Amino acid sequence: MCDKRLCACEKKARPGFMNPNDERVKILEQAYAQFAQIDSKSLLKKHLTQQVFDTLKTRVTNSGSTLMDVIQSGLKNPDSGIGLYAPDQHAYDVFSALFNPVIEEYHINFTSDDVHPDLDWGVPEQLGDLDPEGQFVISTRIRCARSVNGYPLNPTMTEAHYIDLEAKIQQALNSLEGELKGTYYSLVLMDKETQQQLIDDHFLFKEGDRFLEAANANRFWPSGRGIFFNDMKTFLVWCNEEDHMRLISMEKGGNLSSVYSRLVKAVTEVEKKIRFSRHRRFGFLTFCPTNLGTTIRASVHARFPKLSEDYARFTEIANMYNLQVRGTRGEHTEGEEGVYDISNKRRLGLTEREVVFEMRNGVLELIKQEKQLQGD
């Protein structure tokens, strides 16, 4: 007797696999052949070798996602830095032959035996102010992402999931008190001018991000999307954009202690109401593999007019401290008048405390070098 699950004579595909003649496999093969002709510096291009592709092209997750759902953003946007997303939680495991090398390269020093450590916020007061004289740092911002337990990720969410999750998040946020107390604004109800103003002021996410669009993450927009903020706009939460939740603490100047301690307070409070998803190896679960682990991006907007004159050298120094340089208006933008967004690059494999210290140490070094150049 043959084993029906494994036997090739069985016409139906086994669980977790498509039949090799499935139309979806053909489409994947064509797309992969086309991608081979295209120039791209993405990690997708680097790590989706023929061998990895052949191993993964027939796989399906328990929510029905295929390799196409993982890679389509990178296929459509060859200028991607990374190029892949997890259409559902199971994808990180089913497509590990692709995710693992990408994750290990992006999050420098996270090797194949590593498991993300337990949460450790550390002591916010130890961080201090990055620029007490206010000469370089314009503003400081720290964000983290959370997925809510029991809900799928963007490409596998229904409109009902979005609306239901928004209500749940809104309810949890409405119970915040003191400095964190604020109001939730649903995008569905927001007029276009207010929305644009919030985007221009760097408070709100932009609409129609082409990387997310291609990953099927903007479906049913603006349903279930929105923003919460306190009166001072120093604590904000994005609802159902790239991740279920983005919790953000920000203020003018370089007081890292203040910004971080507010974030820690907020996340700790929200966690009393909402259960977050964690992956057994990758820590807090996010839609994009660059955000796994602590999910923390701690950044400053700062002026480095001298250092950035030699842009190659500037990014080289930043890299030495595991920092990432982005343009003034964030990801995929240019620096304007020597103002850059500098943040920690890796978020996985080290604790929250270590991540924020990594950003602090690197930024202090950049400031020191900028000071020296200005003194010359």
**Residue ranges at the known binding site for ATP:** 139-143, 202, 246, 297-301, 326-331
Query: Measured from the CB of residue 290, what is the shortest distance to ligand ARG in angstroms?
Result: 5
Rounded CA gap, 171 and 368, in Å? 45
Is 288 among the residues that bind ligand ARG (CB under 6 A)?
yes
Our CB check for ligand ARG shows the closer of 80 and 299 to be 80
Our CB check for ligand ARG shows the closer of 42 and 223 to be 42
Q: Catalytic one among 146, 262, 326, 360?
A: 326
Rounded CA gap, 51 and 87, in Å? 22
Rounded CA gap, 248 and 236, in Å? 5
* Segment near ligand ARG (CB under 6 A); pick from 48-56, 79-87, 136-144, 174-182: 79-87
Is 82 among the residues that bind ligand ARG (CB under 6 A)?
yes
* Annotated catalytic residue 331: yes
Query: Measured from the CB of residue 84, what is the shortest distance to ligand ARG in angstroms?
Result: 7
Is the Cβ–Cβ distance between 77 and 211 less than 8 Å?
A: yes
Rounded CA gap, 284 and 249, in Å? 18
Query: How does strand 278-279 pair with strand 297-303?
Result: unpaired
Q: Nearest-CA neighbor of 201 among 177, 178, 232? A: 232
Residue numbers 188-217 binding ligand ARG by CB under 6 A:
211
* Annotated catalytic residue 246: yes
Residue numbers 319-338 binding ligand ARG by CB under 6 A:
331
Which tokens sit at 335? 């620096």
Q: Catalytic one among 146, 225, 246, 281?
A: 246
Is the Cβ–Cβ distance between 282 and 292 less than 8 Å?
A: yes
Indicate the residue type of 43: L
Q: Which of 61, 72, 83, 279 binds ligand ARG (CB under 6 A)?
A: 83
Q: Catalytic one among 242, 352, 358, 370?
A: 242
Our CB check for ligand ARG shows the closer of 66 and 290 to be 290
Sign, CA dihedral 37-82-361-298, equals positive
- Count other Cβ atoms within 10 Å, centred on residue 344: 26
Q: Catalytic one among 146, 225, 262, 297?
A: 297
Rounded CA gap, 275 and 150, in Å? 9
Query: Measured from the CB of residue 83, what is the shortest distance to ligand ARG in angstroms?
Result: 5
* Segment near ligand ARG (CB under 6 A); pick from 47-55, 76-84, 252-260, 339-347: 76-84
Q: Nearest-CA neighbor of 241 among 148, 151, 163, 154? A: 154
Rounded CA gap, 162 and 310, in Å? 45
* Segment near ligand ARG (CB under 6 A); pick from 74-82, 154-162, 254-262, 293-301: 74-82
Q: Binding residues for ligand ARG, how many (CB under 6 A)?
A: 11
Q: State the alpha helices, DSSP H only, in 37-158.
A: 43-47, 50-56, 67-76, 91-94, 96-106
Query: Measured from the CB of residue 154, what is the shortest distance to ligand ARG in angstroms?
Result: 11
Q: Which of 69, 166, 241, 242 binds ligand ARG (CB under 6 A)?
A: 242
In sequence order, the β-bridge partners of residue 143 are: 248, 297
Is 344 among the residues that bind ligand ARG (CB under 6 A)?
no
* Annotated catalytic residue 242: yes
* Annotated catalytic residue 288: yes
Positions that interact with ligand ARG (CB under 6 A): 73, 80-83, 211, 242, 288, 290-291, 331
